[in-house]
C-alpha cells in the first residue's frame, strides 16, 4: 500500500483533473473528452478483454462504452470517482452484451495486461502478483474473480469494487484478504 498521504494527495488531484475534464466536456470541449478516453482506455479495454477474449469484439466494446459515457456524462455528479463510474458502465455494458450471463474470465488467467514495468524487479513483482491472484481466483466462485482483478490490476478500493459489481463489500474484502495472504507467501523471497 502506498503511503496514505501520498495516496490521498494523488487521489485529490486525479479527482480534480477528471471533474474538470467532465465539466469541460459538458461545455462542449471534445478535446477534454478525448483526454478522458486516453486516460481510461486501457482500463475499459481490460474489462472488454476479460469478457470477450478477442480484440475485434473488445474494440467495438470500447467504442460502445465511451459512446455511452459521452451520452450520459451529464448524469455524472462527482459523488464517486470518474474511473469508478466509467468502470461501472463498462461492467454493465459487457454483462448486457453477454446476455446477462456473467462470463468474466480473470485477466490473470492468460496474463492479458501488457507489462510496462519500469524495472526488472517491478516486472517480477507484477508477475508474482498475477500468479497469486490466479491462485486465489481458482478457489473462488466465478462471479468474484472480477473483484480481485478490479482491486489488484485496476487499482480500485473495496467500496468502489462493491459499487461496480454490486457484490457485498465484506465478502469482497475477505476474498481479497485471502489473495493478499497468498501474495505474501509468494513474496517471501523478496523480504
Partner 1 sequence: MEQKCEHYMDEFLMLDKGQKLPFDLTLHILFCSKCRSEIRALSKAEEAAGRPLQIPVPVTDDSITLVMKKIDPSYSPRKYQVPLLQWIVAGVVMIIALCSFGFYTSSSSSRALLVAFYLVFAFAVTAYCLVFVGTNLDFFVKKISTTRSRQNCLQS
Binding site for partner 1 (CB under 8 A): 1-2, 4, 7-8, 11, 30-31, 33-35, 37-39, 41-43, 46, 59, 62-63, 66-67, 70, 113-118, 121-123, 125-126, 128-130, 133, 151-159, 173, 177, 180-181, 183-184, 187, 190-191
Cβ atoms 156, 87 nearer than 8 A: yes
As a whole number of angstroms, the distance between CA 36 and CA 23 comes to: 11
**Of residues 56 and 99, the one with the C-beta less far from partner 1:** 56
**Of residues 129 and 165, the one with the C-beta less far from partner 1:** 129
Provide the b/e sequence for 51-84 (b: ≥16 CB within 10 Å).
Answer: bbeeeeebeebbebbbeebeeebeebeeebbbbb
Cβ atoms 59, 67 nearer than 8 A: no
Q: Closest approach of Cβ 57 to partner 1, in Å?
A: 15
**Of residues 67 and 96, the one with the C-beta less far from partner 1:** 67
Q: Closest approach of Cβ 72 to partner 1, in Å?
A: 12
As a whole number of angstroms, the distance between CA 16 and CA 78 comes to: 10
Q: Closest approach of Cβ 38 to partner 1, in Å?
A: 5
Question: Which phi and psi angles does 49 have, rounded to 5°?
Answer: -65, -35
As a whole number of angstroms, the distance between CA 59 and CA 187 comes to: 36
**Of residues 39 and 95, the one with the C-beta less far from partner 1:** 39
Q: Closest approach of Cβ 174 to partner 1, in Å?
A: 9
Q: Closest approach of Cβ 56 to partner 1, in Å?
A: 13
Amino acid at each position: 500500500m502506498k503511503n496514505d498521504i501520498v495516496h490521498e494527495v494523488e487521489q485529490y488531484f486525479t479527482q480534480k483533473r477528471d471533474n474538470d475534464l467532465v465539466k469541460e466536456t459538458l461545455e462542449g470541449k471534445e478535446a477534454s473528452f478525448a483526454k478522458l478516453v486516453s486516460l481510461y482506455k486501457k482500463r475499459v479495454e481490460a474489462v472488454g478483454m476479460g469478457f470477450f477474449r478477442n480484440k475485434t469484439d473488445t474494440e467495438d466494446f470500447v467504442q460502445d462504452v465511451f459512446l455511452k459515457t459521452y451520452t450520459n456524462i451529464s448524469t455524472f455528479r462527482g459523488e464517486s470517482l470518474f474511473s469508478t463510474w466509467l468502470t461501472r458502465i463498462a461492467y454493465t455494458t459487457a454483462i448486457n452484451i453477454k446476455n446477462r450471463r456473467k462470463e468474466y474470465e480473470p485477466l490473470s488467467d492468460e496474463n492479458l495486461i501488457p507489462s510496462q514495468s519500469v524495472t526488472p524487479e517491478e516486472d517480477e513483482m507484477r508477475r508474482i502478483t498475477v500468479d497469486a491472484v490466479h491462485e486465489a481466483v481458482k478457489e473462488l466462485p466465478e462471479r468474484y474473480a472480477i473483484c480481485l482483478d478490479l482491486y489488484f490490476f485496476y487499482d480500485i478500493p473495496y467500496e468502489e469494487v462493491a459499487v461496480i459489481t454490486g457484490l457485498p463489500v465484506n465478502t469482497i474484502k475477505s476474498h481479497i484478504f485471502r489473495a493478499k495472504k497468498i501474495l505474501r507467501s509468494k513474496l517471501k523471497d523478496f523480504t
